[in-house]
Amino acid sequence: MSLSELPILVGATHSESEPKPQLDRRDFLKVLGGGLLICLAPEFSTSQESGRTFGGHELPKDINAWLHIDADGRVKVFTGKVEVGQNIRTSLAQAVAEELRVPFDSITMIMGDTDLVPWDMGTFGSRTTPTMSPQLRNMAVAGRQMLLEMAAQRWNTDASKLIAESGTIKTPDGSKSLSYGELTRGEDLVRTVCDPPLTPATEWKIAGTPVPKAHGRDFVTGKHQFPSDIIRPGMQFGAVLRPQGFNATLQSIDTSAAEKITGVQVVRDGDFTGVVAGDAFTARHAVSAIQAKWNVPEQQGNKGLFEYLKNNPEGRTSEPDHQAGSVEQALANAEVKVEAQYTVEYIAHAPQEPRAAVAEWDNGKLTVWTGTQRPFGVQEELMHAFQLSPKQVRVIQPDMGSGYGGKHTGEAAMEAARLSKAAGKPVKVVWTREEEFTWAYLRPAGLIEIKAGARHDGTLVAWEYHNYNSGPAAIGTPYDIENQLIQFHPAKSPLRQGSYRGLAATANHFARESHMDVVANAAGVEPLAFRMKNLSNPRLKAVLQAAAEKFGWGNVKSTPDRGFGIACGTDKGGFVATCAEVAVDRASKQVKIRRAVQAWECGAIVNPDGLRNQVQGALVQAIGGALFERILFGNGRIQNPVFSKYRVPRFSDTPEVEIVLLDRKDLPSAGAGETGIVGLAPAVGNAIFAATGVRLRHMPMTPDNNIVRA
Amino acid sequence: MSKFLLQVNGKSYDVVAPADETLLSVLRNHLNLTGTKYGCGEGQCGACTVLMDGAPTRSCSIPAVAAAGTRITTIEGLEQLGRLTPVQEAFLEEGAFQCGYCTAGMIMSATALLRDNHSPNHEQILDAMNGNVCRCGTYPRILAAIKRAAARETAVGGGQ
């Protein structure tokens, strides 16, 4: 992920002058007890993605312990990455088990606890597999090497003659063996690691296999504690007064009715007004009893949004993202010319678990359990707000009820901390669904304008592409086009916007792959052949071929009742191709996705079951943004902040789905959390066109009861 | 304030709560039974589904006091003596979750469905489950899990 692709976040704090979080080595060892401690060479640690500077924040060089082998042979692995449903608690443990040569079950992943794990930028951008996994594997290889040497020393032999297997070091004839626990007992050993050779994917025994989700049983029994499930002794419940609209100013406030409720404490601090009560119901009741009048200014709404985004640039005009040849000249001479506009609405992440936090103050130290993709980011927010040192703020991230890029910020953590400080007791804050829709942030809306030129034989010659506000992720075309001008234009967003699964890659693929279909149609070339003709990237061609084969592309012609569409793309090291079949009711023009085939490739597969789940889930989630999800807003208010007015994909929307995974053991593993979301919308749009002749250029394509309107 | 007795997972609880506090809020915030989840507060997502006398019920949408006198089963009440129900087993075997936040509600709705109908067809499963949202998009696996559970069992153990 390049810095330009970093989430556009309003309200996130990345101050340059903040103290750097650090973990005291003695505290660290106190937590761990005795055993083998492996450290990472600073020069290596700074080369990993998480260690790059980010808003002036550098990875602390003095803290880099990632892995610990207990005296009983159990292995603890420490990472600032967090589990949000993408299954990295399992896949990272597989990678470590593989390299350390221990059973999967002997690994315990310690994740997202700022007191225990090395600093990390956060869990986003599909970065865990390509960056954190190799880092942890390096540690594991070094640990294995060290254990081999320890055994060799005891047996007075050469380490290269010994074998590491299933948590033991043994001689080739099996006459001598020592468990890792027996080797490390009572010793605290430190070694600096450089860049040891990793086990090639072709030799993987634990990585590369479909290990089931770690702690799966806790999820089917209700035992797993999500952030909103945390309970602390003496805990109170908090709720916060919300303005009547965005950018509102408080005109008057009367909290007397709330204060009269038994057990309620009203907390006011500048613009912040909240309440604390002994139970959640009373806290909500008390907030609703507060009489507040707000001035809400007139603001941009859905009407005229895309003109607004085009006419309200943010900052100075940016440089083109890609430029080659002369688009102007090529377009003037092109035999086939097509231009069009594509638009995408704001949509919400709507994670099933809304923002939640429990905060507790103890002797000046603040501990917060919260759902966030950036525990260290939240720690910084809290340090800043309460003027605390890193040691005085601990953020713990229990595996949470998803995020999809929507939980980079620490609003609930901040609110719980403020209320807890005032109340002198632990306080839990759980946002309502309406708060989550209204006061979190959204995937950016955007306008995309494309001018394309081609020869009659289907060779693309010109591609001019402008994206207003939606973002630069995957803005470049993977097709070979001699003359290109591609540019992202940041705009002043009327709504708070930020990261999202795939972020702008969804809009950019929708626009590009829809327009590819338009050009193919204008040139009279079959859509798959048209793509293949203009592609040289073998990985993208391979997924296209695989999806087409599985789908039976071209075997049946589209009819007014049934349409077939295809699309492909790449972002963040993942390659995807999607084929969709839609059924259209001829009379009502109602559309339903009947079948989807998605082929996927992201290098060597670490866990085929987890990967399949991710790629399939991304495709199903994509149905919402493709067909019906959109935020309705005006005058500073979200008008559909509830599930009864904001339609998300359900069982009945789900087509028959087939996922084809291509395993490239010769290539490094890339992340797979995001890019599986980009192929469905254009494939469906192209299928709708094939059936009806109607080209839908707006996401969502069928917001009103899935009816296709010209 | 109302005082009433709630029978949850075979245990009786004395509850003192406002008359309009929801069953979900009482389960989670009074009884510390946090396996049942809040998702929307308007009965639209199914995360809060519990069984009331065996019937799937959105606990966010009824006052707790209205549940007095019924037998309530939550996700915590399915496992018996360390044994999972066939639906729970099937969810594990199919890997029918990602973040797992909707899982409790999914399992409760599926449990109710299979208790009434041991071999539902595809359309009947959709009808019964369509009020449950999985934002991670694991619907195909959940459908497979329900079909797997239906194929295996003849009588679903659904708690009391």
Q: How far is A414 from A383, CA to CA, in rounded Å?
A: 10
Examine the domain organization and report whether A694 and A581 are in the same domain: yes
- pLDDT tens digit string along A652-674? 999 999 999 999 999 999 999 99
pLDDT band at A506 (very low <50, low <70, confident <90, very high): very high
Last residue of a domain, one of A406, A430, A454: A430
Predicted confidence at residue A188, as pLDDT, reads: 52
A156, A183, A211 — which closes off a domain?
A: A211
What pLDDT score does B100 carry?
98
Q: What is the pLDDT of residues A127-174, one digit of tens each?
A: 999 989 998 998 899 889 989 999 999 999 999 999 999 999 999 999
Q: Which residue of A219, A228, A281 is in closest CB contact with B38?
A: A228
Same domain for A177 and A249: no
Nearest CA in chain B to A217: B92
Name the residue with higher pLDDT: A315 or B144.
B144
Is the same domain home to A402 and A529? Answer: no
CA angle, B147 then B151 then B156, to 5°: 95
Q: Which of A191-205, A294-308, B146-160 shows the lowest per-residue confidence on average (mean pLDDT)?
A: B146-160
Domains of chain B: 2-75 (3.10.20.30), 86-152 (1.10.150.120)
Chain A interface includes B42 (CB < 8 A): yes
Question: Is the Cβ pair A430, B38 closer than 8 Å?
Answer: yes
Interface test with A, best of B102, B136, B138, B142 (most A CBs within 10 A): B136
Based on the fold, state whether residues A192 and A246 are members of the same structural domain. Answer: no
Distance from CA of B69 to the nearest CA of A (A): 22
- Over residues A11-40, the pLDDT tens digits come to 323 333 333 333 343 344 444 444 555 555
Final residue before a domain boundary, out of A430, A454, A481:
A430
Predicted pLDDT at A142: 87
Indicate the number of domains in chain A: 3
Task: Name residues 108-127 of chain B within 8 A of A (Cβ).
Answer: 125-126
Residues A249 and A122 in one domain: no
Q: How far is A262 from chain B (nearest CA, A)?
A: 12
Tell me, yes or no, if A595 comes closer than 8 A to chain B by beta carbon: no
Q: Are residues A100 and A243 in the same domain?
A: no
Which of B40, B51, B106, B141 to substitute to test the interface with A, most A CBs within 10 Å?
Answer: B40
- For residue range A215-226, list pLDDT tens digits in order: 999 999 999 999
Domain check: are A278 and A416 in the same one? yes
Contact flag B25-A281 (C-beta cutoff 8 Å): yes
Mean pLDDT across chain A: 91
- ipTM entry: 0.96
Residues 80-99 of B with CB under 8 A from A: 84, 88, 91-92, 95, 97-99
C-beta atoms of A433 and B39 within 8 A? yes
| Residue in chain A nearest B128 by alpha carbon | A651
> Measuring CA to CA, which residue among B69, B150, B77, B101 is closest to residue A404?
B101
Residue A221 located in a structural domain: no
A478 and A616 together in one domain: yes
- Selection from A450, A467, A516 nearest residue A689 by Cα: A516
Q: Is the pLDDT of residue A1 over 90?
A: no
CB contact residues (below 8 A), chain A span 294-353, against chain B: 350-353
Query: Are B84 and A657 inside 8 Å of each other by CB?
Result: no
> Within this chain, do residues A575 and A630 fall inside the same structural domain, yes or no?
yes
Q: Which of B39, B75, B141 sits opposite A222 (nearest CB)?
A: B75
- Tokens representing A648? 């998300």
Cβ distance A308 to A642 under 8 Å? no
Largest separation between any pair of C-alpha atoms in chain B: 47
Chain A positions touching B143 (Cβ under 8 A) are: 651, 654
Q: Is residue A220 situated within a structural domain?
A: no
Lookup result for tokens 């640990």: A143
> Taking CB atoms and an 8 Å limit, are B101 and A401 in contact across chains?
yes
Task: Give the minimum alpha-carbon distance from B118 to chain A in angstroms, rounded to a whole number.
Answer: 20
Within a domain: A550: yes
- Residues A286 and A326 reside in one and the same domain: no
Is A85 a member of any domain? yes
Task: Mutate one of B27, B135, B142 to test the A interface: name it (highest A CB count within 10 A).
Answer: B135
Is the pLDDT at A697 greater than 80, yes or no? yes
User: What pLDDT, on the 0 to 100 scale, is given for residue A187?
Assistant: 62
Residues across chain A = 710
Task: Report the candidate in B87, B89, B55, B47 with the shortest Cα–Cα distance to residue B73.
Answer: B55
- The residue-averaged pLDDT of A320-349 equals 97
Query: Buried b vs exposed e over A83-109: b needs ≥16 C-beta within 10 Å?
Result: bbbbbbbbbbbbbbbbbbbbebebbbb
Contact A226 B101 (CB under 8 A): yes
Report residue A374's pLDDT band, with 50, 70 and 90 as the boundaries.
very high
Smallest CA-to-CA distance from A118 within A16, A23, A194, A223 is with A23
Question: Are the Cβ atoms of B44 and A644 closer than 8 angstroms?
Answer: yes
pLDDT tens by residue, chain B, 160 residues: 899 999 999 999 999 999 999 999 999 999 999 999 999 999 999 999 999 999 999 999 999 999 999 999 999 999 999 999 999 999 999 999 999 999 999 999 999 999 999 999 999 999 999 999 999 999 999 999 999 999 986 544 444 3
**Is the same domain home to A389 and A512?**
no
Is the same domain home to A137 and A103? Answer: yes
Our CA-based measurement puts residue B80 at a distance from the nearest CA of chain A, in whole angstroms, of: 11
The answer to whether residue A257 is domain-embedded is yes
Residue A309, domain member (yes or no): yes
Q: How far apart are CA A638 and CA A635, in angstroms?
A: 9
Please give the DSSP secondary-structure letter assigned to residue A390: G
pLDDT at A49 over 70: no
- What range defines the domain where residue A115 resides? 3-211
Contact B130 A650 (CB under 8 A): yes
CB contact under 8 A, A620 and B140: yes
**Interface size, chain A vs chain B, as Cβ–Cβ contacts under 8 Å:** 172
Q: Of A415, A434, A318, nearest to A368 (Cα)?
A: A415
Domain assignment present for residue A38? The answer is: yes
Q: What is the CA radius of gyration of chain A?
A: 27
Burial of A153 (0-12, 13-18, 19+ CB in 10 A): exposed
- For residues A510-516, average pLDDT: 98
CB contacts, 8 Å: B28 with chain A: 229, 280
Do A97 and A180 contact (CB within 8 A), yes or no?
Answer: no
At A240, which CATH number? 3.30.365.10
Inform me whether the pLDDT recorded for A59 exceeds 70.
no
Q: Are A85 and B100 an interchain contact pair (Cβ–Cβ within 8 Å)?
A: yes
